[in-house]
A and B are shown apart, each in its own frame.
Chain A
Amino acid sequence: MTKKGTGLKIVISAVLCLFILVFAIRSGSVYISLKDLLGIIGGHITGKGTPEGIDPMMDSIFWVIRMPRALMAFMVGGALSISGACMQALLQNPLASSYTLGVSSGASLGATLVLILEISVPVLAGFMLPAAGFVFGLATVVFALMLASAIDKSVSNTTVVLLGMVLSLFVNGIVNLLSTLSSDHSKQIVLWMMGSFSARGWDHCAILFPICILGLVSLMLMSRKMDIMSFGDLQAQAMGVDAKKTKILAILICALLTGVSVSFTGVIGFIDLAAPHVVRKIFGPSHKLVIPMSFIYGGAFMALCDLISRTLLSPREIPVGAVTALIGAPFFAYVFFTSRRKR
């Protein structure tokens, strides 16, 4: 692939993804023109408030509800996708994802405990559920890594994947048990686990944004190591990469990205698996492109799925995880099995 060809693909992808994001913000039960949307954004950024001629209700709908929700969906999609890309390369497993080490099941356990025990900490206010989800999700990954290190000093891929699966199933079993024993809360638990972007505001975005930037930059800086790691731990060691250290560090970064995302929105599957594979089909396997492109492709796809989840059966909302799978699976199958490498 020539540099010119790659550059053109990057520009087209970036424009397309931006278009999808803007489309997701503008569309819904209330539609807004691009001019008015830019006016609302400009008014808030410059501190001038709602521009003349725009209904304050419209301002609220777009600035308070739609924009943070769409941006949140974009960031969560991006964060899950780069984690998936990273895990697939490190573990050399096409089915590896950001959930492989049990982040989602750990987060689900945390959220379940908060819901059942009705725990509330005044300082955390509305962030209690996400905070518990994040802490339990990250703790599960750290426990899985410690266990993997204790069992297998080289932390081989097979050990990591198998332990992650076993731990996920075990923790999911506890969640199911708790959910069954506390039937009053089971609906809330199921709803949380299905994932949603509803009622996500700027305060959520403000937490996720720096974590996304941190994750994106640090994984991009590790992209050459990830290229080498995809040839296997032994080869990576021989070429000068400390396979164990790189794997643990990258997994912790992915756990942070996934943990925060899942804790805010619930468990949303499929994007982390599909987006990196689609990106590799378009841009090739080099991670210096796979990581940033997975972020924008995954982000745009999630924003689109969220738009569908809130508009298809409006005013009812479909769980976004169901939309990502129902739309993503056939699309992914089409891209993966029909397109020969067009780089």
Chain B
Amino acid sequence: MELNAKNVRVSYGKTEILKGIDLTIKSGEKVFIGGANGSGKTTLLRVLSGIIPHEGEVLLDGKDVFKMKRKDTAKYISLMPQTSDMYFPYTVFETVLLGTYASAGNTVFRNNASDVQYALKCMEDCGVLELKDRHLDELSGGQLQRVLLARTFAQGSPFLFLDEPGNNLDIKYRAELCDKLNSWAAGKTGDTDNTLVAVFHDLEQARRCCTRAVLMKDGKVIFDGGIDEGLKPEMLMEVYDFDMASYVKG
């Protein structure tokens, strides 16, 4: 499968956030989306997921993701947003099980046994199985982040878009997250190779999880290439307007 963005533009009011993005992501790729705050990374992920209106086209194997039925798009693309509203304190299990909505055979009153099993597996993979019966308002920020990650995996889509998945995670869980993402990306969903597209602020995490870097500045892609080249000090200087090398060395 292939996801193509062609001359994508997004504006919020009079402010143009994305200024003509062209991007192709093939299944099986592991793509890091990088850039300073406000460069358009989050908006790009939302556009690629087909959930916000835009100019230009985003095509999944030739079909416009914004015009597809939401449930159909969600079968192929899952997005873990940077933040998630939590108005009611569902249990961890209820929350993760909701992730199966797009592909589930659940009826209103009965949960499909295979969906339940899959949700439990996703919880186990993300290390939250022991929190199964806890309510969302009883979790720490890191625990909640892992629950939302489990819910995103439970969607069972071959394209996984993550917006800063390492937020609130301690260093151990960040390392585990990388292992988890790498092992997931090495597999397939149905016949399609799994594809990871993630925004990270932790560049070490980006290096460990991804092989391709797409770097953004002021709503434009200014670099698209290998991760090692993308994370060179001179490139980071251009992207972040900041001397990363001297910061790391102290």
Contact = CB atoms under 8 A, between A and B. Distances in A.
Contacts of A89: 87-88
A239 B98 contact: yes
Nearest to A225: B101
Interface string A222-241: 01100110111011011111
B98 A223 contact: no
A234 B49 CA distance: 11
A154 B79 CA distance: 18
B88 A285 contact: yes
Interface size class of B (residues with CB under 8 A): 20 to 34
Contacts of B94: 227, 284-286
A238 B108 contact: no
Contact of B101 (A92, A154, A240): A240
A153 interface: yes
A300 B89 CA distance: 26
B89 A241 contact: no
Contacts of A220: 108
B20 interface: no
Interface stretch (B65-73, B182-190, B200-208, B214-222): B65-73
A110 B94 CA distance: 43
Contacts of A280: 88
Contacts of B98: 224, 227-228, 231, 239
Interface in B75-106: 75, 78-81, 84-91, 94, 98-99, 101-102, 106
B88 A239 contact: no
Contact of B84 (A223, A231, A341): A231
B135 A341 contact: yes
B69 A238 contact: no
Interface residues of A, number: 27
A221 interface: yes
Contact of B81 (A224, A234, A241, A288): A234
* Most interface-central of A237, A241, A280 (chain B CB within 10 A): A237
B58 to A, nearest CB: 14
B70 A221 contact: no
B196 to A, nearest CB: 16
Contacts of A285: 88-90, 94
B108 A234 contact: no
A89 B90 CA distance: 13
B87 A230 contact: yes
B53 interface: yes
B143 interface: no
Given A230-B87, A231-B85, A286-B94, A240 B108 contact: no
Contacts of A184: none
B85 A238 contact: no
A220 B84 CA distance: 24
A240 B73 contact: yes
Contacts of A238: 49, 51, 74, 78-81
Contacts of B86: 231
Nearest to B91: A284
Interface of B: 46, 49, 51, 53, 69-71, 73-75, 78-81, 84-91, 94, 98-99, 101-102, 106, 108-109, 135, 155
14 contacts: A89-B87, A224-B108, A231-B84, A232-B85, A234-B46, A235-B81, A237-B51, A239-B78, A239-B102, A240-B73, A242-B69, A242-B70, A285-B94, A341-B135
Interface of A: 89, 92, 153-154, 220-221, 223-224, 227-228, 230-232, 234-235, 237-242, 280, 284-286, 288, 341
A-B residue pairs, 10 tightest by C-beta: A240-B74, A240-B102, A285-B88, A232-B85, A237-B51, A238-B79, A240-B71, A242-B70, A92-B87, A230-B87
Given A240-B70, A240-B75, A241-B70, 11 more contacts: A89-B88, A92-B87, A224-B98, A228-B98, A232-B84, A238-B79, A240-B155, A285-B89, A286-B90, A288-B108, A288-B109
